[in-house]
Structure 1
Amino acid sequence: MSPRAPFKAYDVRGVVGKDLTEPVMERIGAAFAAIVAKGGPVVVGRDARASSPAFAAALARGLQAGGSDVLDIGLCGTEEVYFATDHLGAAGGIMVTASHNPPGDNGLKMVRSGARPLDRDSGLAEIEEMVLGPDPAPRAARPGELEPRDIRGAYVEKLLGFTHPEKLAPLHILVNAGNGAAGPTFDALAEGLQAAGAPLRFTRYLFTPDPTFPNGVPNPILPENHAQTADALRAAGADFGVAWDGDFDRCFFFDHTGAFIDGAYIVGLLAAAVLRETPGETVVYDPRVVLNTLDIIGAAGGRGVQAKTGHSFMKSVMRAESAAYGGEMSAHHYFRDFMFCDSGMIPVLKVAELLSAQQVPLAELVAARARAFPVSGERNFSPADPDAAIARVEARFAPEAEARDDSDGMSLRFATWRFNLRRSNTENLVRLNVESIADAPLVKAKVAEIATLLA
């Protein structure tokens, strides 16, 4: 294992057989039991990757050696681990997943009791030190037990509380699980919706979990992957489409024409949906694209609070503010009544409910917002010297800016447009987002100008 390679800011991610092996997973489990769970019960779930069953078993052995009972919920999504950790009163939860990474990767997403995030300041750094150090975690006098648990029925009941089945219109929705973990879970949700009288109809696509990912690793945010869902949606004649990533903590939307909807507009739609039900609530947003979201929050009488990009930061601010909803343009959507955690299933229900109430196509709703606040979409750059490239952009634009925010990268605001430029937390990239007030040509021109400076 290369030193520190798999330990990131708030999760574990690496190459199977190089960074991550069964002995490493066992050590991580033992360390988690000692440092986070302190011998209390721990929920363990896994995604559909080929290495995930063996890694989950190794993790369980380590947890048991540390004295923790393992509550094994099997193949699931990350949000089901969040739910089970809170629902079962566990001391922590661990999901074996690499989400949308290549098939040869795997990793862990970990939470503390109550599904509170685990990061370097709340135990991850100590786990890393124990795992990479010369001494193993202490063994408990009484090993823990392995207990299979089925929480899906309770999880579906929780999700159904986020909608009003009797208010839903007879919408036809294309759902693409990408051969990841979403298929079995959504089947259970669809069954619950039907039993509750919801008149929704679903066309399923790539719903069988397959560790070989024969249709590519599910990462619907990539432009080259959009056609997969768009073609299936048009063939089905659906009202809109949804595609999930491998562990379905993110969901991506397509309108009836097959057009991919930028995540910034989904944040606005979900904020509107939440504020329709609970006026005056707080909504948390990330700083990359904000104009549309702030306009919707203001019009609905809500209160907007900004947080740094990343689930640990978003959840922390949401808890501090008791925010009803939080959204990132990267398709992470957080809900207070879901342990302040992100869900890839709840947004499907909320968007269906919003369309049912407004009785207009998703394409029409988004088009109106896109005309009012056009965005560039996130553009990635790989300059040879990222700091020097960012400095060039700063020198050109900062003197003219009306407002500046450096809480997460560099955000500069002007009279009719705005941009955010930031280093990636996980890759050697510089990410750019540009937005304007009703001026799409200006967005295009500013992207070109900034791209030249970054090059």
Structure 2
Amino acid sequence: MTTSPPLIISVSGIRGIVGASFTDDTVRRFAHAFATELPMNARILLARDTRPSGENFAAVAIKALAEAGCHVFDLGVCATPAAKLMVLELQAHAALILTASHNPADWNGMKLVRADGIFLDAAAGRRVESAYHRSKRRTGDGRVESVARDDVESRLLRRILDVVDVDAIRAAHLRVAVDPCNGTGALFLPRLFEALAVSAHFIHDTPDGQFAHEPEPIAENLVDLSRAVTEAGCQVGFATDPDADRVALVGETGQPLGEDLTLALAVQVVTERRKGPVVTTLSTSQVVTDAATANGCPVILTPVGEVHVVDAMVAEGAVIGGEGNGGVILTDVDPGRDAAVGIALILESLARNGRPLTELAAALPQYSIEKRKVSCSEQDLQRALDGLVQRYPEALRHPVQDGVKLYMEGTFQCPWIHLRPSNTEPVVRIIAECEQRQDAVELCAVAEGLLRGE
């Protein structure tokens, strides 16, 4: 008999299977717990992605927050980046966003946001989790008001247009294919493309949460988009996840590009005109570091998790940051990953260079990155972490703590392997990068064997 995955609670939020580990009671108790961390009459935003279960969960959350004495601003169906921006725009104390991001359709979850528009850090998350387990709550006289989608989208659009070369993009007369996977990207992206005079061919753009394919924007889920790019004669294809904070690319030939190339190309275009630190995670490809250092910009690596990246960006005054999963961050726009920002920067790169996307990608250093995920116990993971270090005594271990990342040749360069527990799924992630694919495959096989006790 199979068992449902447990509720996952991490710096990436709360996620579970609808009706099993994620229920009305989960939402109600977390909403009350979150409210106890806020002042009475706190201004809190509520948003959700397009998953059908979100409407009911939103009603549960709104009721709980109002009962706890909060002033709730209901954004309705809204992309995560836009909701985070509205925390700043409305000078709110917090936001609760109902989404399971890239997880399959039978999942839902919550992302909790603090007053600076950034996700809760680990310490704040632990306090809320403790309050949840104790069913902590308070009562007060709250109220609810709705925020118009046009207002939200107009604010986000203005910020994006302020940071890209609008004239160059408009003059390029670009044609793109877009797959928002029936998520929130279907709501805002048409407006972005119209403002940039980009001709857009959409597929799977009914924002009803009935995902046309598995929603994570990785190569195996981009078959329809690849076909749309070639059939419509587009220069690029964009695939976003359901809450529109990640974007993957398909080249003009219909070939999906690696997830990390979204950030690498975005870093390249930003650091060509603006110098400063670049922040990304331990699991991100070396090609992102190469793109930054080629333009004289230092790179800072953090544990995996958007909050770690954004906190470091703010502390270091970074010009751009992000994660290797297609998450691009420009804090001048909003304090987190934003698919629309990534799209705008890729459009600028195409417009300014006047070259096909596949040529731009081919001009970057070439690596092969292998990614796997394995279910195992905490004991198996610890044994594998220890075993990996013992197996490669000459390797250089990165000092940032998030599982173990080893650089096999003793310098902070490729080849490397990273073994860590996932923040979003009940699995352990194995990521290896080498110049040759077979070498990366072999490194991953060693780590997987250690996890399985082989």
For residues 197-346 of structure 1, what are the structure 2 equivalents within 5 Å?
A: 198-213=196-211, 215-221=212-218, 223-278=219-274, 280-346=275-341
**Among residues 120, 123, 126, which one is paired with 1:121 in the alignment?**
123
Query: For residues 34 and 406 of structure 1, do their structure 2 counterparts lie closer, same or farther at Cα, with a shift above 3 Å needed?
Result: closer
In the alignment, what sits opposite 1:177? Answer: 180
Where does structure 1 lack aligned partners over 5 or more consecutive residues?
none
Measure, in 2, the Cα distance between the counterparts of 1:145 and 1:449.
Answer: 54
Does residue 410 in structure 1 map to residue 410 in structure 2? no
User: How far has the Cα of 1:240 moved from its partner?
Assistant: 0.8
In the alignment, what sits opposite 1:435? Answer: 433
Deviations 1:92-113 (A, max 9, x none): 1111111222322211111011
Percent identical among aligned pairs is: 26
Given that residues 182 and 248 in structure 1 are in contact (C-alpha distance below 8 angstroms), is that contact kept between their aligned partners in structure 2?
yes
In the alignment, what sits opposite 2:371? Answer: 378
User: How far has the Cα of 1:422 moved from its partner?
Assistant: 1.4
Query: For residues 339 and 200 of structure 1, do their structure 2 counterparts lie closer, same or farther at Cα, with a shift above 3 Å needed?
Result: closer
User: How far has the Cα of 1:36 moved from its partner?
Assistant: 2.7
Query: For residues 143 and 389 of structure 1, do their structure 2 counterparts lie closer, same or farther at Cα, with a shift above 3 Å needed?
Result: closer
Does residue 188 in structure 1 map to residue 191 in structure 2? yes
Given that residues 435 and 443 in structure 1 are in contact (C-alpha distance below 8 angstroms), is that contact kept between their aligned partners in structure 2?
yes
Given that residues 405 and 412 in structure 1 are in contact (C-alpha distance below 8 angstroms), is that contact kept between their aligned partners in structure 2?
no
Measure, in 1, the Cα distance between the counterparts of 2:107 and 2:262.
Answer: 29
**Among residues 415, 421, 424, which one is paired with 1:424 in the alignment?**
421
Given that residues 263 and 328 in structure 1 are in contact (C-alpha distance below 8 angstroms), is that contact kept between their aligned partners in structure 2?
no
Query: For residues 70 and 299 of structure 1, do their structure 2 counterparts lie closer, same or farther at Cα, with a shift above 3 Å needed?
Result: same
Where does structure 2 lack aligned partners over 5 or more consecutive residues?
none
Question: What is the SS of the residue equivalent to 2:186?
Answer: helix
Measure, in 1, the Cα distance between the counterparts of 2:105 and 2:287.
Answer: 36
In the alignment, what sits opposite 2:144? Answer: 145
User: How far has the Cα of 1:440 moved from its partner?
Assistant: 5.2
Query: For residues 102 and 452 of structure 1, do their structure 2 counterparts lie closer, same or farther at Cα, with a shift above 3 Å needed?
Result: closer
TM-score of the superposed pair, with normalisation by structure 2: 0.89
User: How far has the Cα of 1:447 moved from its partner?
Assistant: 4.8
Measure, in 1, the Cα distance between the counterparts of 2:300 and 2:400.
Answer: 15
Question: What is the SS of the residue equivalent to 2:266?
Answer: helix
Question: What is the SS of the residue equivalent to 1:316?
Answer: helix
Q: Which amino acid aligns with 2:332?
A: D
User: How far has the Cα of 1:90 moved from its partner?
Assistant: 0.9
Question: What is the SS of the residue equivalent to 2:272?
Answer: helix
Measure, in 2, the Cα distance between the counterparts of 1:212 and 1:266.
Answer: 26
Question: Which is worse superposed, 223-232 or 88-97?
Answer: 223-232
Question: Which is worse superposed, 44-53 or 386-395?
Answer: 386-395
RMSD across aligned positions (CA)? 2.5
Measure, in 2, the Cα distance between the counterparts of 1:18 and 1:447.
Answer: 33
User: How far has the Cα of 1:405 moved from its partner?
Assistant: 4.0
User: How far has the Cα of 1:114 moved from its partner?
Assistant: 2.2
Q: Which amino acid aligns with 2:198?
A: L
Query: For residues 72 and 428 of structure 1, do their structure 2 counterparts lie closer, same or farther at Cα, with a shift above 3 Å needed?
Result: closer
Query: For residues 440 and 53 of structure 1, do their structure 2 counterparts lie closer, same or farther at Cα, with a shift above 3 Å needed?
Result: closer
Measure, in 2, the Cα distance between the counterparts of 1:148 and 1:91.
Answer: 16
Q: Which amino acid aligns with 1:174?
A: A
In the alignment, what sits opposite 2:76? Answer: 74
Number of positions where the alignment pairs a residue of Structure 1 with one of Structure 2 = 439
Q: Which aligned segments of 4 or more residues in structure 1 are displaced greater than 6 angstroms?
A: none
Given that residues 90 and 113 in structure 1 are in contact (C-alpha distance below 8 angstroms), is that contact kept between their aligned partners in structure 2?
yes
Does residue 107 in structure 1 map to residue 106 in structure 2? no
Q: Which amino acid aligns with 1:200?
A: V
Question: What is the SS of the residue equivalent to 2:108?
Answer: strand
Measure, in 2, the Cα distance between the counterparts of 1:413 and 1:211.
Answer: 41
Given that residues 13 and 108 in structure 1 are in contact (C-alpha distance below 8 angstroms), is that contact kept between their aligned partners in structure 2?
yes
In the alignment, what sits opposite 2:58? Answer: 56
Deviations 1:363-396 (A, max 9, x none): 1121232xx3312232334568333334443333
TM-score of the superposed pair, with normalisation by structure 1: 0.89
Measure, in 1, the Cα distance between the counterparts of 2:406 and 2:298.
Answer: 22
Measure, in 2, the Cα distance between the counterparts of 1:314 and 1:419.
Answer: 20
Question: What is the SS of the residue equivalent to 2:215?
Answer: coil
User: How far has the Cα of 1:216 moved from its partner?
Assistant: 2.6
Measure, in 2, the Cα distance between the counterparts of 1:228 and 1:60.
Answer: 37
Query: For residues 307 and 224 of structure 1, do their structure 2 counterparts lie closer, same or farther at Cα, with a shift above 3 Å needed?
Result: same
User: How far has the Cα of 1:401 moved from its partner?
Assistant: 2.4
Q: Which amino acid aligns with 1:72?
A: D
**Among residues 345, 350, 368, which one is paired with 1:350 in the alignment?**
345
For residues 79-98 of structure 1, what are the structure 2 equivalents within 5 Å?
A: 79-98=81-100
Measure, in 2, the Cα distance between the counterparts of 1:115 and 1:16.
Answer: 27
User: How far has the Cα of 1:292 moved from its partner?
Assistant: 2.1
Given that residues 373 and 439 in structure 1 are in contact (C-alpha distance below 8 angstroms), is that contact kept between their aligned partners in structure 2?
no
Question: What is the SS of the residue equivalent to 2:369?
Answer: coil
In the alignment, what sits opposite 2:21? Answer: 19
Measure, in 1, the Cα distance between the counterparts of 2:396 and 2:104.
Answer: 42
Q: Which amino acid aligns with 2:331?
A: R
Given that residues 285 and 369 in structure 2 are in contact (C-alpha distance below 8 angstroms), is that contact kept between their aligned partners in structure 1?
no
Question: What is the SS of the residue equivalent to 1:341?
Answer: coil
Measure, in 1, the Cα distance between the counterparts of 2:432 and 2:347.
Answer: 29
Measure, in 2, the Cα distance between the counterparts of 1:224 and 1:59.
Answer: 35
Q: Which amino acid aligns with 1:129?
A: S
User: How far has the Cα of 1:154 moved from its partner?
Assistant: 1.6
Question: What is the SS of the residue equivalent to 1:62?
Answer: helix
Q: Which amino acid aligns with 2:226?
A: A
